[in-house]
């Protein structure tokens, strides 16, 4: 059998394109932290929490809700006054703010994202300015440190 012309056209082509970028991408902005879960409070009761914080549009932002299920204490953060590096490792962040308790003018949270899953590795510590403290490894939940450009 030979070549039969006029039956089909076969086109063979090859294309190659490269894009070269010099340097690394501009990752402006700062990280922020979100999380929720529960810890064991000093009296053995469950302490549940939801927390977030960061720096956005030139201002600190975030929230805090902490409930001590042994004595019924509920702490609502009413404003963030600081967000920055924490004391429990490179993935920890400190969030300070004002709260709605009449006997406590504020709170300090130190929490860390130490990997997945969060329970058993991440931690959450809360200090109220009225002297209440609680914290430790998460018994349930997760802390997530969100880095820019990731």
Q: Give residue limits of the domains in the chain.
A: 33-146
**pLDDT higher at 150 or 119:** 119
Q: Encode 69-99 in three state secondary structure.
A: CCCCCEEEEEEEEEEEECCCCCCEEEEEEEE
**pLDDT higher at 59 or 10:** 59
Helix ranges (DSSP H) in the chain: none
Q: Which runs of E-coded beta strand occur in the chain?
A: 32-40, 46-56, 59-68, 74-85, 92-99, 107-112, 123-128, 133-137, 140-146
Q: Is the pLDDT of residue 26 over 50?
A: yes
Q: Is the pLDDT of residue 6 over 90?
A: no
Q: How far apart are CA 63 and CA 96, in angstroms?
A: 10
Check residue 104 and give its pLDDT.
86
Q: How far apart are CA 100 and CA 83, in angstroms?
A: 19
Per-residue pLDDT tens digits for 69-123: 999 999 999 999 999 999 989 999 999 999 999 988 899 999 999 998 888 899 9
| b/e code 71-83 from CB counts within 10 Å (16+ = b) | eebebebeebeeb
Which residues are registered as beta bridge partners of 77? 99
Per-residue pLDDT tens digits for 34-72: 999 999 999 999 999 999 999 998 999 999 999 999 999
Q: Is the pLDDT of residue 17 over 50?
A: no
Check residue 148 and give its pLDDT.
85
């Amino acid at each position: 059998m030979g070549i039969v012309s006029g039956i089909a056209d076969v086109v063979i082509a090859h294309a190659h394109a490269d894009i070269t970028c010099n340097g690394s991408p501009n990752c402006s902005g700062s990280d922020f932290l979100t999380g929720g879960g529960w810890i064991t409070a000093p009296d053995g009761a469950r302490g549940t929490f939801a927390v977030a914080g960061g720096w956005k549009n030139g201002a600190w932002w975030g929230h805090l809700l902490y409930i001590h299920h042994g004595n019924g204490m509920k702490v609502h953060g009413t404003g963030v006054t600081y967000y920055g590096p924490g004391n429990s490792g490179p993935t920890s962040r400190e969030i300070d703010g004002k709260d709605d308790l009449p006997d406590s003018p504020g709170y300090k949270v130190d929490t860390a994202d130490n990997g997945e899953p969060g329970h058993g590795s991440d931690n959450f510590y809360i200090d109220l300015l009225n002297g209440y403290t609680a914290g430790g490894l998460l018994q349930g939940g997760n802390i997530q440190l969100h880095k820019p450009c990731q």
